[in-house]
């Protein structure tokens, strides 16, 4: 696939925001002592990220003025469901923020926020996982990765916020949790990479054309300067660049943040917590880019050669 | 209001086929690879009809510049099999297969992608489409193209605006590509009607689906190459000839 | 109210996007290629909205090809010229600096200049036309002007195919005849990629396959039609003649020949003189003065055969073979006066004796066993799987045949055979092969299309003396035709050529279609003289319609010591801004095919069906753009201004108001005009009749086509069908009703050979050309390696380079078409992977392909569908930067390429005419350009080289008045905008 930055931006920002909200909700439900304004600050940060992400996702649409229609097919479409769950999640966050501002402390809203965040991760991941012939995506590992990576990024963000705003109680919980979740995310992501590397495509040129000759090759894709099908489904990066991006996201999204978090926790360094966030951010972008780019769509079989 | 509530509650559509619904009629094309010479007549006949029709206009980017590219519903490709001197050259037209189980329909968030109940044609509602491209991701055949200028998804309509147009003479009420094809490599009809030309061709000539492993049940079927090895001999399906595979 | 939330569709897919717009449908004839299918043009608010095939047209029966369906984009191409242009004074040719002028000024300029030429030395005006279909009019114009310097493009296209077959069977392929796939069981297609009679071929081929026919394709490459062949037989380019000779060898050796057919309908049994002397190799004749003079190529009378039944010599032609006579096809005999003779078929036997399949295998690359099997398959299908149709017919000698014999083996061939310097003899070999199988005009075999078959050799008044050229006088002879002997050559008393292209000279005597590819070179060299004005119509001479393109471009600009251009005045008429337009001094904007009247006439390039003559027209469907004017109107205007007799009334006034008027009224013979339908004052007489002033309306209301169905008794065996022969003469298609005996043995060629050997009293070639003519003017077909081989180091240049025509484009014409160029915006050199890898070139890599004459850099595509000794590409896709109003840097310029740069129009030749040391790179018999003879080598391009094709030319500026700027996105919508 050709990764679209608008979608990358949206899923990375939203994923981190969801993680942040879940972290906050769990902390509140667990009774972790927090400064009075922290919750609403954190929620504002999350809402801002969600809204920026949402606006970014509009960039992926050809006709953004009709975007409201996207909620209508929730019976069959995961995208439709996401389009309903995302505003619902934002609404719940908004209500919770209002509640916090008015001094109301009900467990219902943080619970609802957790449920909404989980549902949003599920919808977002299922948009890709439900496409059964994109074998790289069609697996429960996709949901696991979106959730764990989202949670990891949210915990890293929460830790940075907590460190900067001096929420030590929270930090003592989020730092190790961030390390644990990030390691888990790395594990599941590596499982997915391992699985993808071993995938045997079910579609072949023979099944795609019905011409069962063992040495079948394409000589012409029917047009000489590309089409939507050659632009949307091919990432265009060189093999070398592809490998480098894989290495980059493993290092930046998982390895480096873990190391930085451990150091930050042991050295009590606020700067290190912030650094972990700043290092993980490009790593998340790279990871999401790679997630899209690695998918080999069966339609690519039909678009290989010009002559 | 009641209708809207009814709609919302999902009490059936008159136009759209429901997921998993079995239709009484399924219009489709049968592509005969045995006589396609790769002339691209279907490609540009489709383009000219639809460019100025209800599915159009179909944009062309940099039409006179470097790397000209544009929206077409149908493409003709060329494949080679075998090694010299036993090489086969196969021309391969490809357009939307109007699957009976179209993966592009359930994923569409706005309902712009739909399959017609009355004849099984899969269409895009250009007034609803938001250009999210999700349906294109969901099509294993790459049969859909986003029109770069209108920013909505487009695809073969089986010339639905020709086949029902009473102002056209009866023999013209067929897709533009079918009418144009000089070798008659494109047949059109109802694959659910066992007496139709398309059904007969599929039965007699061993019509097959593309990418059957994904169980999309494409309505369009392809007829394989056959070879007549001796004058007066029977034509054998190419894949079954000795020495292949 | 909540409809907007409804799940029902909003957009109605059946609704018209422009409701209420005025629509209409007009019929006309397509001209995206030379197939000339009938089309319907659907207009919305007067703009072209849709073009489809006309179901009622006999040629295409409702289908249309990729090009025809893209006619709309040709109509709106930004490359369209719209105003006459004059090169700015002081600017250089090729720089493309023009000023628009009025038609009045253009006509004044041309009339003044041409009148001066006509009044002093008419041959200094040369008129050469390209892809056009109006040779009857352009030929008439040239003839009325009084210049012999006229031809269309046949000389570098496929004259070998036309001449090789016409001199043998009286007809040829494409519009003159073709394979009867309705009844054939075996179809062999040779050297054909996609030709311009393509839609009928596609229709017929599909029906043939579905009915169980077996289709074999012989070609170095497997593209186009060959893709659906049941068997592909790869062959080395230029060696098909060897294959045919070997097939003949096998057929004769296995007696798989149609004896009865050969005896009755060909000159196979006619006795050839073997004794030395001035009749050696010509047919024996009866010296009795009552029998008339000895026969020659055009008058095949007074022939003899040896009757085996009584061992006596009998008269054979025009009497035919009498009942009970069994003429010998083999043996050596002696006439009463002691002359040694043999039937010409005996000589053919002796000729093919050494043409074994093993011999052919070494030349063609086809296994000897396969050649044997192929011959057996052809022979047995033709003879053992034959059948009869219950159609009674009477032959030219009165014998009544109760049924018609079918011979279900059909052939088709094209440029793969013709575009070689051995093409004429190769095509002759094929025609002889088709004849020994008895397939000529038989059901299931080859069938003629009216006005063919024509006489062997077709009759015409030859232009053969400089005395025939007079100022202000029409030429009393035809500039083009089919010479039957050296006396008909267009040469001066000293044997030098009279024509600028050297056509009909000793260099290539039977150059029936002229040699367009020589004109510019010869004019610049002043060989045989300098001309003043060259008028080119619809031919891209400064690009793909030339061999050695870059040199031609330089020559167009060459000046003499006085600073004048070697070709002083160049006029180009075209609808589009081609590469050639930049070199013109005067540019005349032609209309497109949707804006004009045209005729597809029996007098020109006919469009007949097997079962009867057909002609068709184009009528304007939309008004001409800008100031575009159909070229025919230009010619008629000039002809009227210069008062050509055929265009002027006895009182000195203008005879024709315009082209449509001319078509209606002009009669080269009484009752015969350009169009044969709806003649007579009331429009009820067909084929022959008085002019009908409403003839155009009659065509326009009848799908622009007229088809005549002959009765069944006239459908077959028309070379010898009495009813048909009389009918054809009566309708003016032929001047005589003599039967047309197939000329397996060509005494016409022998007359040239005898002249070369000094055996005749008449004209003889210059000494330097004697050996060449004696060698190649062999009365029997034979194979020889292409001439270029002997001028080439075959070790250094081991590969053949050829082109194929893609189905979606027609010559250089379609890169300005926004839709078609998306299918082919650039091209690759296709190379067999073994060959490519041996040279170190990866798939998709850049390479140099070099001949000894030039080099080209391009991208390579590996392909198993090409024999390893050949490389090929699609023709005419590469363009000059900026031509055709493509943006600078377009794919066609940067990634597209021509092979033309590798080809030379001249080969070294010792002692050419007047001591020249070169001769045309052409077939020595017809002058056909040897396009596919070139030998090349390939090597990878260096990694640091620019990734673009070579050569590149400087960007052409846009000519003033071209239609439009190149938009970044095109969303054309005919009629009311959405």
Model pLDDT for residues B93-112, shown as the tens digit of each residue? 999 999 999 999 999 999 99
- By three-state DSSP, how is residue C16 classified? coil
User: Is there a contact between B45 and C69 if contact means CB atoms under 8 Å apart?
Assistant: yes
Residues 6+ apart with CB under 8 A from A210: B208, B209, B210, B222, B224
Q: Which residue has the tokens 């080999």?
A: A296
CB contact under 8 A, C891 and A224: yes
Q: Does B57 touch chain C (CB under 8 A)?
A: yes
Nearest CA in chain B to A292: B137
Three-class SS of residue C659?
helix
Q: Beta-carbon neighbour count of residue A68 at 10 Å?
A: 13
How distant is the Cα of A227 from the closest Cα of chain B, in angstroms? Answer: 6
Q: Would you say how long chain A is, in residues?
A: 307
Contacts C214 to B, Cβ<8 Å: 228-231, 233
Which of A227-231, B69-73, C173-177, C338-342 bottoms out in mean pLDDT, i.e. has the lowest? C173-177
**pLDDT tens per residue across span B37-46:** 999 999 999 9
Contact flag C198-B179 (C-beta cutoff 8 Å) = no
Q: Is the pLDDT of residue C244 over 70?
A: yes
User: Each residue of C10-40: pLDDT tens digit?
Assistant: 999 999 888 889 999 999 999 999 899 999 9
CB B122 within 8 A of CB B115: yes
Tokens of C301: 């009378």
Quote the pLDDT of residue C812.
79
What is the average pLDDT across A113-142? 97
Out of A69, A130, A214, name the one closest to residue B128 (CB): A69
Say yes or no to pLDDT of B11 above 60: no
Q: Which two tokens stand for residue B157?
A: 């309509």
pLDDT above 90 for C549: no
Q: What is the value of ipTM here, to two decimals? A: 0.94
Looking at the DSSP bridge assignments, the partners of residue C51 are: C41
Residue C910, pLDDT score:
75
Mean pLDDT, residues B134-148 taken together? 97
DSSP C191-254: S-S--TTHHHHHHHHHHHHHTT-EEEEE-SB--GGGGG-SEEE---TT-HHHHHHHHHHHHHHT
User: Sorting pLDDT into bands at 50, 70 and 90, what band is C978?
Assistant: very low
Distance of alpha carbon C288 from alpha carbon C285, whole angstroms:
9
Q: Which of C5, C13, C230 sits opposite B123 (nearest CB)?
A: C13
pLDDT at C955: 86
Question: H-helix or E-strand containing C859?
Answer: strand C855-862
Which among B173, B150, B170, B148 has a CA at the least distance from the CA of B162? B173
The predicted pLDDT at position C319 comes to 87
Report d(CA C479, CA C151) in Å as an integer. Answer: 8
CA C154 to chain centre: 5
Local structure of C24: helix, strand or coil:
strand
Burial degree of C696 (CB within 10 A; 0-12, 13-18, 19+): buried
Pinpoint the alpha helices (H) of C412-487: 415-418, 423-436
Cα distances (angstroms) measured from residue B243 to each of A213, B121, C369:
10, 40, 19
Given a contact cutoff of 8 angstroms between Cβ atoms, the answer to whether B64 and C887 are in contact is: yes
pLDDT of residue C164 exceeding 90: yes
Contact C204, C777 (CB under 8 A): no
pLDDT value, residue B243 = 44
pLDDT tens across C355-403, in order? 999 999 999 999 999 999 999 999 999 999 999 999 999 999 999 999 9
Q: Is C839 helix (H, G, I), strand (E, B) or coil?
A: helix
Task: Determine the residue among A66, A67, A80, A307 to mutate to test chain C binding: the one whose Cβ has the most chain C Cβ atoms within 10 Å.
Answer: A307
Assign B28 to helix, strand or coil.
strand
B228 with C214: Cβ contact below 8 A: yes
Q: How far is B149 from chain A (nearest CA, A)?
A: 9
pLDDT reading at B241 higher than 60: no
Which parts of A70-167 fold into alpha helices (H)? 78-101, 108-129, 140-165
Mean pLDDT of C453-482: 94
**Integer Cα distance of C100 and C83 in angstroms:** 6
Q: Indicate yes or no: CB of B181 within 8 angstroms of CB of C230.
A: no
Q: Residue C301 and residue C306: Cα distance in Å, rounded?
A: 16
Residue of chain B with shortest Cα separation from A76 = B106
Q: CA C522, CA C517: separation in Å to the nearest integer?
A: 9
Q: Which of A133-137, C132-136, C498-502 has the lowest mean pLDDT?
A: C132-136
Please give the DSSP secondary-structure letter assigned to residue A252.
I
Of B149, B171, B173, give the one whose Cα is nearest residue B161: B173
The four Cα atoms C578, C584, C589, C590 give a dihedral, to 10 degrees, of -70
User: Which residues make Cβ contacts (< 8 Å) with residue A240, sequence separation at least 6?
Assistant: none
Model confidence at A299: pLDDT above 60 = yes
- Say yes or no: C4 contacts chain B, CB-CB below 8 A: no
Task: Using CB atoms within 10 Å of the CB of residue C46, give its burial: 0 to 12 exposed, 13 to 18 middle, 19+ buried.
Answer: middle
| Closest alpha carbon to B104 in C79, C820, A299, C843 | A299
In what helix (H) or strand (E) does residue B122 lie, and over which residues does it extend? strand B122-124
For the cut 90, the answer to whether the pLDDT of residue B190 exceeds it is yes
Mean pLDDT of C482-498: 96
pLDDT tens figures, C713-762: 999 999 999 999 999 999 999 999 999 999 999 999 999 999 999 999 99
Q: Tell me the pLDDT tens digit for each residue of C269-313.
A: 999 999 999 899 999 999 999 988 998 888 889 999 999 999 999
Contact check, Cβ <8 Å, A66/B110? yes
d(CA A53, CA A59): 10
Residue B61 has what pLDDT?
95
- Residue A169 above 50 pLDDT? yes
Name the strand (E) or helix (H) holding C314.
Answer: strand C312-317
Phi-psi region at C933: left, alpha or beta (left = phi > 0; alpha = psi -120 to 50): alpha
Interface residue of C12, C819, C892 to substitute, partner B, most B CBs within 10 Å = C819
In the complex, which subunits touch C with 3 or more CB pairs below 8 angstroms? A, B
Nearest residue of B to residue A65 by CA position?
A: B130
Contact B94 A222 (CB under 8 A): yes
Distance from CA of C4 to the nearest CA of A (A): 9
Q: How far is B96 from chain C (nearest CA, A)?
A: 16
Q: Measured between CB atoms, does C89 come within 8 Å of chain A? A: no
Chain A residues with CB-CB distance to C7 below 8 A: 72
Q: Say what the pTM is.
A: 0.96
> Residues of C602-623 as b/e, b for ≥16 C-beta within 10 angstroms?
bbbbbbbbbbbbbbbbbbbbbe
C761, exposed or middle or buried, with CB in 10 Å at 0-12, 13-18, 19+?
exposed
Q: What ranges make up the beta strands (E) of C2-124?
A: 23-29, 38-44, 47-53, 85-87, 98-100
Least confident span in A7-16, A86-95, A197-206, B12-21: B12-21
pLDDT of residue C912 exceeding 60: no
Selected residue of B10, B41, B50, B70 to mutate for chain C interface (largest C Cβ count, 10 A): B41
pLDDT of B166 above 70: yes
CB atoms within 10 A of CB C403: 12
| Mean pLDDT score of chain C | 94
C429 class by beta-carbon count within 10 Å (0-12 exposed, 13-18 middle, 19+ buried): buried
Q: How many CB pairs under 8 A join B and C?
A: 280
Are A229 and B106 a contacting pair at CB < 8 A? no
- Which burial class, exposed, middle or buried, applies to C783 when counting CB atoms under 10 A from its CB (0-12, 13-18, 19+)? buried
**Cα-to-chain-centroid distance, residue C68:** 21
pLDDT digits (tens, 9 = 90+) for C60-91: 999 999 999 999 999 989 999 999 999 999 99
* Residue A208: Cβ within 10 Å count: 24
pLDDT digits (tens, 9 = 90+) for C269-279: 999 999 999 89
Considering Cα of C696, then C701, then C706, then C709, what sign does the dihedral take?
A: negative
The shortest CB-CB distance from A224 to any of C7, C823, C863 is to C823
- Find the mean pLDDT for residues A143-164: 97
pLDDT at C296: 85
In the predicted model, is pLDDT for residue C897 greater than 90?
yes
CA atoms in the 13 A half-sphere facing the CB of C164: 35
Q: Residue C977: pLDDT above 60?
A: no
The yes-or-no verdict on residue C800 having pLDDT over 60 is yes
Alpha-helical (H) ranges within C384-478 are: 415-418, 423-436
Digit-coded pLDDT (tens) for C172-226: 998 899 999 999 999 999 999 887 789 999 999 999 999 999 999 999 999 989 9
Which H/E stretch holds residue B186? strand B186-190
Which residue shows structure tokens 């005549």? C708
- pLDDT for residue C95: 87
Residue A10: name the closest of A110, A79, A93, A108 by CA.
A79
Compute the nearest-CA separation of C876 from chain A (Å).
15
> For the residues B126-153, what does the mean pLDDT come to?
97
Distance from CA of B197 to the nearest CA of C (A): 14
Q: Exposure string (b/e) for C152-185, b if CB count within 10 Å is 16 or more?
A: bbbbbbbbbbbbbbbbbbbbbbbbbbbbbbebbb
How far apart CA A138 and CA A192 sit, in angstroms, is 11
Distance from CA of A131 to the nearest CA of C (A): 23
Could you write out the three-class secondary structure of C756-814?
HCCCCCCCCCCHHHHHHHHHHCCCCCCCCCCHHHHCCCCCCCCEEEEEECCCCCCHHHH
Q: Minimal Cα–Cα distance from C148 to chain A, Å? A: 44
> What is the average pLDDT score of chain A?
96
pLDDT in tens, C918-954: 888 999 999 999 999 999 999 999 999 999 999 998 8
Contacts of A61 in chain B (CB under 8 A): 130-132, 151
Percent of chain C residues topping a pLDDT of 70:
98
pLDDT value at position C959?
Answer: 84
Among the partner-chain residues A213, A220, A300, the one whose CB lies closest to the CB of B81 is A213
């Amino acid at each position: 696939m050709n990764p679209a930055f608008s979608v990358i931006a949206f899923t990375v920002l939203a994923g981190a925001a969801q993680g942040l909200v879940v972290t906050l909700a769990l902390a509140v439900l667990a009774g972790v002592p927090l400064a009075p304004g922290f919750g609403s600050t954190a929620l504002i940060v999350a809402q801002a990220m969600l809204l920026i992400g949402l606006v970014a996702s509009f960039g992926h649409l050809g006709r953004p003025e009709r975007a409201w229609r996207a909620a209508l097919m929730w019976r069959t479409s995961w995208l439709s469901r996401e389009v309903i769950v995302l505003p619902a999640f934002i609404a719940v966050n908004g209500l919770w923020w209002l509640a916090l501002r008015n001094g109301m402390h009900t467990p219902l809203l943080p619970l609802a926020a957790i449920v909404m965040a989980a549902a949003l991760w599920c919808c977002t991941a299922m948009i890709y996982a439900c496409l059964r012939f994109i074998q790289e995506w069609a697996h429960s590992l996709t949901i696991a990765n979106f959730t764990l990576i989202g949670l990891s990024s949210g915990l890293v963000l929460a830790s940075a916020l907590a460190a900067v705003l001096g929420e030590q109680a929270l930090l003592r919980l989020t730092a190790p949790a961030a390390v644990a979740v990030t390691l888990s995310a790395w594990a599941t992501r590596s499982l997915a990479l391992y699985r993808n590397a071993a995938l045997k495509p079910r579609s072949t040129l023979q099944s795609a054309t019905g011409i069962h000759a063992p040495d079948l090759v394409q000589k012409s894709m029917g047009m000489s300067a590309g089409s939507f099908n050659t632009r949307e489904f091919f990432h265009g990066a060189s093999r070398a660049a592809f490998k480098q991006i894989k290495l980059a996201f493993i290092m930046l999204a998982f390895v480096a943040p873990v190391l930085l978090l451990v150091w930050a926790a042991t050295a009590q360094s606020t700067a290190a917590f912030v650094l972990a966030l700043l290092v993980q951010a490009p790593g998340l972008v790279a990871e999401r880019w790679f997630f899209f780019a690695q998918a080999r769509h069966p339609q690519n079989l039909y678009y290989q050669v010009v002559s | 209001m009641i209708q809207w509530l009814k709609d919302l509650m999902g009490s059936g559509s008159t136009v759209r086929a429901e997921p998993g619904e079995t239709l009484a009629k399924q219009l489709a094309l049968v592509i005969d690879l045995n006589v396609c010479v790769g002339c691209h007549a279907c490609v540009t006949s489709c383009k000219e009809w639809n460019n100025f029709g209800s599915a159009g206009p179909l944009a062309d980017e940099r039409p006179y510049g470097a790397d000209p590219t544009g929206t077409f519903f149908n493409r003709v490709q060329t494949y080679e099999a075998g090694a010299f001197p036993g090489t086969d050259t196969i021309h391969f037209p490809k357009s939307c297969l109007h699957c009976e189980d179209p993966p592009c329909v359930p994923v569409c968030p706005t309902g712009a992608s739909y399959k017609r109940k009355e004849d099984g044609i899969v269409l895009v509602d250009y007034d609803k489409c938001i250009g999210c491209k999700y349906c294109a991701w969901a099509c294993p055949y790459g049969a859909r193209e986003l029109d770069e200028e209108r920013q909505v998804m487009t695809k073969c309509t089986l010339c639905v605006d020709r086949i029902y147009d009473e102002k056209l003479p009866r023999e013209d009420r067929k897709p533009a590509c079918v009418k144009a094809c000089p070798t008659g490599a494109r047949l059109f009809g109802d694959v659910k009607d066992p007496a139709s030309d398309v059904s007969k061709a599929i039965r007699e000539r061993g019509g097959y689906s593309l990418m059957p492993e994904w169980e999309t049940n494409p309505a369009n079927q392809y007829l394989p190459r056959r070879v007549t090895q001796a004058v007066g001999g029977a034509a054998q399906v190419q894949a079954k000839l000795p020495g292949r595979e | 109210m909540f409809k907007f939330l409804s799940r029902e569709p909003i957009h109605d897919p059946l609704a018209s996007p422009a409701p209420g717009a005025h629509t209409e449908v007009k019929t006309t004839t397509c001209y995206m290629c030379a197939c000339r299918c009938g089309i319907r043009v659907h207009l919305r608010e007067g703009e072209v909205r849709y073009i489809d095939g006309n179901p009622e047209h006999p040629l295409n029966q409702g289908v249309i090809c990729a090009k025809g369906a893209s006619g709309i984009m040709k109509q709106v191409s930004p490359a369209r010229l719209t105003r006459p242009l004059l090169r700015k004074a002081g600017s250089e040719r090729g720089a493309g600096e023009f000023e628009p002028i009025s038609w009045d000024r253009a006509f004044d300029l041309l009339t003044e200049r041409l009148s001066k030429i006509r009044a002093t030395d008419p041959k200094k005006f040369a008129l050469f036309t390209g892809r056009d279909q109006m040779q009857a009019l352009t030929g008439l114009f040239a003839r009325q002007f009084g210049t012999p310097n006229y031809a269309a493009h046949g000389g570098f296209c496929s004259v070998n195919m036309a001449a090789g077959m016409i001199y043998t069977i009286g007809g040829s392929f494409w519009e003159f005849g073709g394979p009867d796939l309705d009844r054939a069981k075996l179809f062999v297609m040779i050297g054909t990629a996609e030709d311009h009679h393509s839609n009928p071929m596609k229709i017929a081929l599909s029906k043939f396959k579905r009915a169980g026919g077996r289709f074999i394709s012989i070609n170095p490459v497997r593209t186009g039609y060959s893709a659906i062949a049941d068997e592909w037989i790869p062959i080395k380019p230029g060696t098909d003649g060897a294959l045919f000779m070997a097939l003949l060898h096998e057929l004769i050796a296995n007696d798989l020949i149609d004896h009865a057919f050969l005896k009755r309908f060909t000159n196979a049994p006619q006795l050839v003189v073997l004794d030395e002397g001035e009749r050696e190799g010509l047919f024996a004749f009866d010296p009795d003065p009552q029998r008339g003079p000895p026969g020659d190529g055009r008058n095949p009378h007074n022939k003899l055969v040896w009757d085996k039944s009584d061992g006596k010599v009998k008269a054979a032609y025009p009497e035919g073979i009498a009942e009970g006579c069994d003429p010998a096809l083999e043996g050596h005999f002696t006439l009463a006066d002691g002359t040694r003779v043999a039937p010409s078929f005996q000589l053919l036997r002796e000729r093919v004796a050494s043409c074994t399949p093993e011999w052919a295998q070494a030349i063609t690359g086809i296994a000897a066993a396969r050649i044997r099997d192929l011959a057996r398959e052809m022979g047995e299908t033709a003879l053992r799987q034959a059948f009869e149709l219950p159609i009674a017919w009477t032959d030219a000698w009165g014998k009544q045949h109760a049924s018609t014999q079918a011979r279900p083996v059909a052939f088709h061939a094209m440029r793969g055979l013709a575009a070689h310097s051995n093409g004429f003899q190769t095509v002759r070999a094929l025609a002889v092969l088709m004849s020994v199988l008895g397939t000529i005009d038989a059901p299931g075999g080859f069938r003629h299309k009216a006005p063919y078959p024509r006489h062997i050799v077709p009759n015409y008044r030859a232009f053969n003396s400089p005395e025939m050229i007079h100022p202000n006088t029409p030429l009393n002879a035809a500039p083009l035709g089919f010479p039957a002997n050296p006396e008909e050559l267009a040469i001066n008393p000293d044997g030098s050529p009279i024509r600028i292209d050297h056509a009909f000279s000793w260099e290539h005597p039977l150059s029936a279609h002229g040699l367009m590819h020589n004109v510019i070179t010869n004019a610049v060299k002043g060989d045989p003289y300098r001309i003043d004005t060259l008028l080119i119509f619809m031919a891209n001479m400064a690009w793909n319609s030339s061999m050695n393109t870059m040199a031609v471009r330089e020559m167009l600009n060459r000046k003499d010591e006085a600073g004048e251009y070697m070709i002083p005045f160049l006029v180009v008429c075209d609808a589009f801004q081609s590469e050639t337009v930049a070199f013109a001094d005067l540019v005349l904007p032609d209309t497109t095919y949707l804006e004009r009247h045209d005729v597809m006439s029996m007098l020109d390039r006919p469009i007949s069906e097997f079962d009867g003559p057909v002609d068709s027209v184009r009528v304007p469907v939309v008004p001409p753009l800008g100031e575009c004017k159909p070229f025919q109107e230009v010619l008629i205007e000039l002809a009227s201004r210069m008062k050509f007799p055929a265009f002027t009334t006895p009182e000195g006034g203008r005879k024709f108001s315009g082209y449509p008027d001319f078509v209606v009224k002009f009669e080269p013979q009484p009752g015969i005009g350009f169009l044969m339908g709806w003649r007579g004052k009331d429009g009820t007489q067909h084929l022959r009749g008085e002019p009908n002033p409403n003839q155009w309306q009659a065509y326009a209301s009848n799908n622009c086509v007229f088809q005549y169905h002959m009765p069944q008794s006239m459908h077959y065996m028309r070379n010898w069908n009495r009813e048909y022969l009389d009918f054809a003469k009566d309708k003016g298609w032929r001047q005589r009703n003599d039967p047309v005996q197939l000329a397996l043995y060509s005494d016409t060629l022998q007359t040239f050979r005898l002249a070369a050997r000094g055996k005749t009293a008449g004209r003889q070639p210059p000494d330097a050309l004697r050996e060449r003519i004696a060698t190649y003017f062999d009365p029997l077909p034979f194979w020889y390696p292409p001439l270029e081989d002997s001028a080439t180091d075959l070790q250094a240049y081991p590969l053949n380079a050829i082109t194929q025509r893609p189905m979606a484009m027609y010559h250089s014409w379609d890169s300005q078409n926004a839709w078609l160029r998306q299918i082919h915006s650039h091209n690759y050199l296709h190379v067999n992977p073994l060959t490519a890898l041996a040279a170190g070139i990866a798939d998709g890599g850049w390479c140099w392909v070099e001949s000894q004459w030039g080099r080209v850099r391009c991208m390579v595509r590996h392909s198993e569908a090409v024999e390893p000794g050949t490389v090929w590409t699609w023709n005419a896709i590469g363009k000059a930067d900026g031509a055709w109003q493509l943006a600078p840097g377009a794919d066609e310029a940067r990634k597209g390429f021509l092979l033309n740069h590798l080809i030379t129009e001249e080969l070294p030749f010792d002692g050419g005419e007047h001591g020249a040391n070169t001769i045309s790179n052409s077939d020595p018999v017809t002058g056909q350009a040897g396009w596919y003879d070139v030998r090349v080598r390939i090597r990878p391009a260096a990694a640091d080289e620019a990734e673009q094709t070579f050569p590149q030319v400087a960007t052409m500026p846009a000519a003033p008045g071209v239609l439009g700027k190149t938009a970044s996105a095109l969303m054309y919508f005919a009629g009311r905008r959405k």
